[in-house]
Structure 1
């Protein structure tokens, strides 16, 4: 068991706490079957995060029990990431406790949570989310290899919009993409944020949660620009080889206007087109440096959706200061010198540069063809 109990920044109002339990550390003499080493962690979790979603394990869990959990709290907002190689469950704690709005986002596996008298137990599969107002404790159970994200949100902010409804849908919806992109950014940067930065991150997250409830993004809210930009970049990175990739496609997928998308990128000193081009050039550069196999420069240009090899040639040289052929030749020469010093095989000196199909993302195996 490994528990990380350090605050991200005690002065900025955010608290981050994590837990990893695996193998022999799971075997314990504590009455409730929890690892003895976890007592300090669980106490810190309850004190700082709250006990509504405190992680525990099934008493029947074996010595092979493995789970990782990381929680972040910003005042009355908590973001909890859970990945269980083993099945995981939380304890059901009786009321009273404060009202909350909770969101369960399931990336992989399945997650069963106990229902109300009106609704039975509910099971969410990978790719689904549910958001609801709750004024009672509940517990959850997962199957092995479940990855999920939980949000604990203040009822005062979201209950007027949600009422007694339950928001349910796909994690691929435009609003959910924005929310999860922002949450991931907060997890990565909270340690570097000032107190004002944490408050801004909290406010943006609540605005994005409202967007999930209402099914639309408030495109005049300036605080949401970074989340929109990150969600767009995530989409770009998944569609680099798609010939339809454009600002229009991204705006459609994120359910915003092209103007709103452009404004968000401009605030970060970028344009949508320049980001797409730079990412495609970067992937092409990595392919040019691949040590094995072959693909011609013109094939590479076509794969990464450049208009033609001449356009690719000019864009690459402008970005990196070398033509694709010059870059490939210099990379190959450097690799050959290293191989010579270490006694490795010669990497080849053919003047016709070709790139590995198997080491380039998205490229299929196949025969060779001339440029």
Structure 2
């Protein structure tokens, strides 16, 4: 699990909640003039995850306004790019930056530069729900910075192309933090930087300015995202994936070969991983194995069983029963308390 810091305004006294929130936002992003009609009893929650010097912070908060003024910029500039991904449950965000104004909706992205004034406001009586990202500008070469400058303050759809890939990556990273180890941080950070570079290039239709290696990496990430969204389609094969991206099967093979895997193996692995997750899910315990196989792109239960057994060393039914027993054992252990020893319990160490 990656280290994270949690802030909940409910954990502090009502009369200082807004001050605590404002100070936390200034420390996370850059100094802002923050205001809210709910400042007398503000509510907000956020988690801070660090990928070295890149910060991610999933957030939910009451309607508020964030302004970075010329005066605040003169007082200090951390030279950051800020990215917001608007998540379901959020109201609309009015964004004014770099002489551009737009309304960001659910699944939209936008990019801000801490060196320029900005004004972002959540609609009155709405919640803001999203993921914020802070990236030092020094991570990008000058050519990329110029490209980013041309999309600042612009609404970027997060349901197609590289917007969808970046949105999926950010959502997966913050939702499954426990699946990653500190040793994964450099790799995750580089993937994020590559995705931002690819997103900007696609938005400007300037992908030809990227190196050949970067273009191939971007193409691979797009194709991998496509497979992750369509693995449940039994017609998904390397040939149909290649056709959907206007490349030949041979080109597709070379892209995956550079990542140490074949396209067929990746599709198979994605389907099996989802089937394994469903088999271990207590809420799907009564769902037939055939139904689970079908939902994961298999038309033959026998073929699914053979593939699952080859990958995990046991049949799907055996795996489900094993997981079920382990879950029951865990629940029983939490219900059964050890007998009293007559000694006082060891006090908890204060955080």
Instruction: Determine if the TM-score, normalized by the shorter chain, exceeds 0.5.
Output: yes
- Paired position in structure 1 for 2:130: 147
| Deviation readout 1:281-304 (Å, 9 max, x if unpaired) | 344345556674352x54544443
The corresponding residue for 2:164 is 177
What is the rounded CA distance, in whole Å, between the counterparts of 1:319 and 1:194 in structure 2?
Answer: 28
Question: How far apart are the structure 2 equivalents of 1:28 and 1:337?
Answer: 45
Q: Is 1:34 equivalent to 2:12 in the alignment?
A: no
Q: Are the equivalent residues in 2 in contact too, given 1:22–1:64 (CA < 8 A)? A: yes
Distance 1:221 1:203, change over 3 A: farther
In structure 2, distance between residues paired with 1:163 and 1:288: 47
Match of 1:293 in 2: 286
Q: Where does structure 2 lack aligned partners over 5 or more consecutive residues?
A: 334-351
Give the alignment's TM-score, normalised by structure 1.
0.61
Uncovered stretches (5+) of structure 1, i.e. residues with no partner: 1-7, 9-15, 343-371
Question: Contact 1:190–1:198 (CA<8 Å) still a contact in 2?
Answer: no
1:155-203, Cα deviation, whole Å (9 max, x unpaired): 94445436656654311222223444566788867953798x7995676
Instruction: Report the number of matched residues.
Output: 311
Kindly indicate whether residue 258 of structure 2 is the aligned counterpart of residue 273 of structure 1: no
1:1-371 paired onto structure 2 within 5 Å: 20-23=7-10, 25=12, 27-28=14-15, 34-35=19-20, 41=24, 44-45=27-28, 50-51=30-31, 56=34, 58=36, 60-63=38-41, 65-68=43-46, 70=48, 72=50, 80-95=56-71, 96=73, 103-108=83-88, 109=90, 110-114=92-96, 121-131=101-111, 136-142=116-122, 143-150=126-133, 154=137, 156-158=142-144, 160-161=146-147, 167-180=154-167, 191-192=182-183, 204=194, 207-215=197-205, 221-222=212-213, 232-247=223-238, 250=241, 262-288=253-279, 292-293=285-286, 295=288, 297-324=289-316, 331=322
Structure having the higher helix fraction is 2
Distance in 1, Cα, partners of 2:293 & 2:4: 46
State the secondary structure of the residue aligned to 2:233: coil
* Structure 1 residue 26: Cα displacement: 5.5
- Please report the TM-score for the alignment, with normalisation by the length of structure 2: 0.63
Task: Provide the aligned C-alpha RMSD in A.
Answer: 4.9
Shift in Å at residue 216 of structure 1?
Answer: 6.3
SS in 2 for 1:123: strand
Q: 1:115 to 1:331 in 2, by over 3 A?
A: closer
- Shift of residue 316, structure 1, vs aligned partner: 2.5
Q: Deviations over 1:205-233 (max 9, x none)?
A: 55324424334656864357677656655
Secondary structure of 1:114 counterpart = strand
- The secondary structure found in structure 2 opposite 1:245 is coil
